[in-house]
Every structure is written in structure tokens, then in C-alpha cells.
Amino acid sequence: MTHTNTPRKYVIANWKMHGDLAHNQALLDRYVSQLSDLKGTQVVVCVPYPYLAQAQAKLQGTGIAWGAQNLAKNEDGPFTGEVSAQMLCDFGSQYVILGHSERATAYCESDENIAQKFMVAKKHGITPILCVGETLIEREAGVMELKVGKQLDAIIDLYGVEVFQNTIVSYEPIWAIGTGLAATPDQAKAMHLFIKGKLMQVNATHENSVKILYGGSVNPQNALQLFMVEHIDGGLVGKCSLNAQEFEGICQAAESCQE
Ligand code: PGA
């Protein structure tokens, strides 16, 4: 299945640093048999770099897309351990997660670095999935819009808001990631409205081209409720993407709440 029109919902698997050849093989086989003919949902699998070739071999021509979880801000050169956008393209990657909080905190990734990576991805035709979100302390202090606004401004100030065309932003409250405690639909709705409002400063076509996902403890039980919220265009799924049955449940939720 290939989407001729922009899909209404996206469900993106973030495998993080999980998996091995045998496990991936079984999981991807299952994804392909269960999720290849969804009508309005684009499924994307973001795998660790070494498994891009495996994802490409398994998913090519199925309608399920694949991508990576980071890329280098430089095009090429003496950057030991880095992986360039062109290398991702060599393995058919159409998406890349950028600015995930696990990278921002553990690898001291700055907003400026993330902004540069965002542009490099776009230049190579890879859709960036930009993660933004606040910590629990920031939420309790009521400064979540300030935090997320700053993360978006790091890109807008350098390159203009137009660069968000044909990209994906994932609102990921850090307190909800891997904790089993998802944001409530109301909490998510308020932040999605804020993000949408900020990216709306361009023009009407822009409104349709940027997708805003929710990420943080999405599971088959809460997915439908979250995906039904206006301005939530799908989810970025960590833990539950490693379990075929749970991931299918989430994808079916996205599929069943299409207008
Ligand atoms: P989680 O991860 O679904 O395990 O909470 C989400 C994410 O980190 O993108």
C-alpha cells in the first residue's frame, strides 16, 4: 500500500536501543502482515542504525516506512561515530527522529544542534520528527508552553517558520515517556493547540502540512482517546512498539478514528 494522499494519522515506532536481528525479523514480519493495508494511517518504524538495511529489505514496497533516531549535523568528514543524512538515504530512510529528550539529556544535545540537524534532514528529503516537551518540574511550575515555545523558536529564529512545512512535531512530555503515565487528552490538547498556533504563523497550506503527534506512554488502552483529540495527528510509540500485538492495537486505534 502506498498513500497517494497525505495520511490523516501517523503511528511511529521508536525502537530506541532495543532489538536484534532475530527479534526484529519476527516483529517486522508481523508488522507487514497486520499493518500493510491500513487506509488512512502511515506506519513508520525508526530503528537503530545497524538495522536500517534489515528494515529496508523487509519493508520496501509494503507501505510501512522506516527511518532512524538521529543523524549528524555535518554532511561528511572526520566525525567518528556519527552517521550522515546521505547514509540514511542510502538505506531508503524517509524519516528521522530528532531532539528526543533521551538524547538531549544524556548526550547534551543543544537546541541549536537539533535545529541544524532538522535542516540537514530536510535538505536530503528526510522528514524530521522533532520531539519537544517539558519536564515534570516545568509542568508543575506552569512553564510548559515557555519550554516548548523555546524549542520551536530555536528552529524558527534561525530558519523561519516555513521550514516546518512537510515535517512532523511530536509533543512528548518528558514525565510521560516510559513511565506508564500518559498525558490526559485535555493536557495533550492544550499543548497541541499551543504548538499548532505557533506554527500557524505562516499560511493556510502550512496548517495542513505539519503533523503534530503525541508521544509518552501511548498504549492500546489510551490510544483511541488521545488520537480522537482535535489536532493530535497520531503518536510516537516507544515501549509498545516492541510488542506486535500492542503496536497493532495502537495502529488500529489510529485507523478507527479517521473522520
Ligand atoms: P514510551 O516512549 O512510549 O515508551 O513512553 C515514547 C518515546 O520516547 O517516544
Distance 203 CA to ligand 1 centre (A): 31
Residues whose CB is less than 8 angstroms from the CB of residue 46 and which lie 6 or more positions away in sequence, other chains included: 12, 13, 14, 15, 66, 67, 68, 69, 95, 96, 97, 129
**Residues in the ligand 1 pocket, defined by CB under 6 Å:** 14, 172, 177-178, 215-218, 236-240
- Chain mean position to CA 218: 13
Mean pLDDT over 109-120 rounds to 94
Catalytic residue positions? Answer: 100, 172
Question: Which residue is closest in CA terms to ligand 1's atom 3?
Answer: 238
User: What pLDDT does residue 2 have?
Assistant: 40
Question: Do the beta carbons of residue 230 and residue 7 sit within 8 Å?
Answer: no
* Residue 202 pLDDT grade (very low, low, confident, very high; cuts 50, 70, 90): low
* Residue 5 pLDDT grade (very low, low, confident, very high; cuts 50, 70, 90): low
* CA neighbor of 131 nearest in space, from 105, 107, 152, 106: 152
Pocket test for ligand 1, best of 179, 239, 250 (most atoms within 8 A of CB): 239
Distance 219 CA to ligand 1 centre (A): 10
Q: Which domains does the chain have, with CATH numbers?
A: 9-256 (3.20.20.70)
Distance set, CA 221 to CA 98, 177, 182, 197, 256 (Å):
27, 16, 11, 29, 14
Residues whose CB is less than 8 angstroms from the CB of residue 139 and which lie 6 or more positions away in sequence, other chains included: 173, 175
- Give the pTM: 0.95
